[in-house]
Structure 1
Amino acid sequence: MSARHALPPLNCLRAFETAARLASITRASHELALTQSAVSRQIQRLESDLGQPLFERQLTGLALTDTGERYYRVVQRTLRELGEASAEIRRRPSEQSLTIASSPTIASFWLSRQLSGFQAHYPDISIRMLIIEDPNRLEPGECDLGVYYHLQGEVDPVGMTAEALFDQEQVAVLCSPTYLAREGRPESVIELLERHVLMVVEDHYHDWLTWQCWCETLGEKWRTPARTLSANSYQLLMNATLAGQGVTLGWTCLFEHELQQGLLVEALETHIESRGRLSLLTPGQSQMTRAAGLFRQWLMAPNGDTS
């Protein structure tokens, strides 16, 4: 059999790579937008095709076998290189175009405002926004730059370098003035947990910014909140917060405009320092285009002053 005919189906390789990277069939199914049974069938088909088990099923999740570990490294590298090459071919090669990847929340609440100023100075540059929630799903070849929260060692996209956009950033408890007028200002962390509606993000990528982490960082004893509103979209929860439906944890720099305009207020005066930094991500192996270089200069310069 030729090497070409020995290749397993691409969807099986994607299912295997995702499950191995996340060590979970459940998380892999969420990322691939498939059912858990579909992901399991694709992995089983791959194992049958190879004639070797790739995973050991454990109570705590998935663990790669020795064969699976070696195969995972090859598959991950191959899929990444294939994605980068495909993205480069799809993209319009132009010094006057710029593709910026970001999450829905950052793009809508912060980045869009930066773009208006940049476009006023450089009207000849065409901008394309690429919205991807998890930066770990970002392929370097499909964008010129990325703007994401970067947490070294935990949120570290392969092949990307990160530059923090702010020297420091605080996490605060935010709500709308309408909510505060209706529910009253909490006098303590305990009252916040017992009486107020807390916005909860159901997303493993955001696990480093949680109410429990915030509470324990303050030295307070954690207890399950009495009232919550949960979603797997931080953007949705921020819009619900603006609509007066509860309180959420938010970065003061990211939501500086909303705070200055009085659309959001701090329900508590207590801050903690953010573990992650809003950062500019740059593909490490690609040469920066003129448009990307100008945008980087724009973002990194104080107050957008590029003179």
Structure 2
Amino acid sequence: MRDALPPLSCLSAFEAAARYCSFTQAGSELNLSQSAISRQIKRLERDLGRLLFERHYEGLRLTPAGEQYFRVVQRLLRDLGDETARLRRRGDDRQLTLASSPTIASIWLARQLPDFQRAYPHIEIRILTVEDPHRLDLAEFDLGIYYHVPNEVDPPGLIAEAIFEHELVSAVCSPIYLERHGVLDPAQLLTDHTLMVVEDHYHDWLTWETWYRALGLDWQPPVHTLRANSFQLLMNATLAGQGVTLGWMRLLDAELDQKNLVQALPHAIPSRGRLSLFTPQHRHLTEPMRAFRQWVLKTS
């Protein structure tokens, strides 16, 4: 039938390609090759009888027809995803999907969940780890746990409620590292030691330079760094004795109590970001969502 809708695979490929203006990036997101995305787009263009992209020396650009179609397809796919997730959740009212960064999930959340599961043994927990909450698909999770800087790091469509109202940020390292290097001081830290540096715009509100200047300490770019776009990787490197990182003291309570980490310096500043519970706006709160929200905010 001529009036039949195009295949969903073609629409998904088009939506991703239009969002990135790149067949390669769309393929990476959908786990397809660049040529597979190109074939899906050509099939869709033949079906519609319209060009959706202009190919030129700078890359891809949507045609006017493509721009209009993209807005419609993106809205419909989002609505379809939301409704699918809603029906799946209704099909299993016992399941609770929690989104969090790998670091928070492994260092803090995993240690807290046994208490919650003892209180609510009928609730099935599923954890989704995504480093940056801006990359979350609101249809894929129920609640999130991330650090939140009010009015600065506000992922769209989410309501943030602080779990920790107050928290300090300090330089931490492993006991092995401290034993190996002896007493540290702020000036030597920048010249003689390895500092962990997160290369991620979401964490730009907490940097070594910010920390030094907030304490009124002399700052210069560190001589030795270990850089990564994953805070979890850097935290694991810190635990393994490879250097010094900035850490939230309440988040790291258990690691500090168990002497897996120690303060490298006595200095600390109040954290601008607070560990927070993220709730998708306009989401019907299921019984597991209500139970976890009450538990995590009450037991902070």
Alignment partners' CA distance in 2, 1:30 and 1:4: 22
User: Is the 8 Å Cα contact of residues 107 and 251 (structure 2) preserved in structure 1?
Assistant: yes
Alignment partners' CA distance in 2, 1:259 and 1:226: 27
What is the SS of the residue equivalent to 2:267?
coil
Matched, 1:291 2:293: no
Greater gyration radius: 2
Matched, 1:134 2:132: yes
Residue of 139, 144, 147 corresponding to 2:145 = 147
Deviation at 1:204, TM superposition (A): 2.5
**Matching residue's letter, 2:168:** Q
Residue of 136, 139, 160 corresponding to 1:162 = 160
Residue of 240, 245, 248 corresponding to 1:248 = 245
Matched, 1:233 2:217: no
Task: Structure 2: give runs of 5+ residues left out of the alignment.
Answer: none
**Matching residue's letter, 1:159:** G
Deviation at 1:224, TM superposition (A): 2.2
Aligned-CA RMSD value: 3.7
What is the 5 A alignment of 1:1-307?
Answer: 4-5=5-6, 9-17=11-19, 19=20, 32=29, 77-91=75-89, 93-188=91-186, 190-302=187-299
TM-score of the two chains, using structure 2 as the length reference: 0.79
What is the SS of the residue equivalent to 1:200?
strand
Alignment partners' CA distance in 2, 1:185 and 1:198: 16
Label 1:275 to 1:70 Cα distance change in 2 as closer, same or farther (>3 A). farther
User: Is the 8 Å Cα contact of residues 53 and 62 (structure 2) preserved in structure 1?
Assistant: no
User: Is the 8 Å Cα contact of residues 51 and 66 (structure 2) preserved in structure 1?
Assistant: no
User: Is the 8 Å Cα contact of residues 201 and 231 (structure 1) preserved in structure 2?
Assistant: yes
Aligned residues: 289
Alignment partners' CA distance in 2, 1:273 and 1:245: 26
Label 1:146 to 1:181 Cα distance change in 2 as closer, same or farther (>3 A). same
What per-residue deviation string (whole Å, max 9, x for no partner) do you get for residues 103-127 of structure 1?
Answer: 1111111011111001111212211
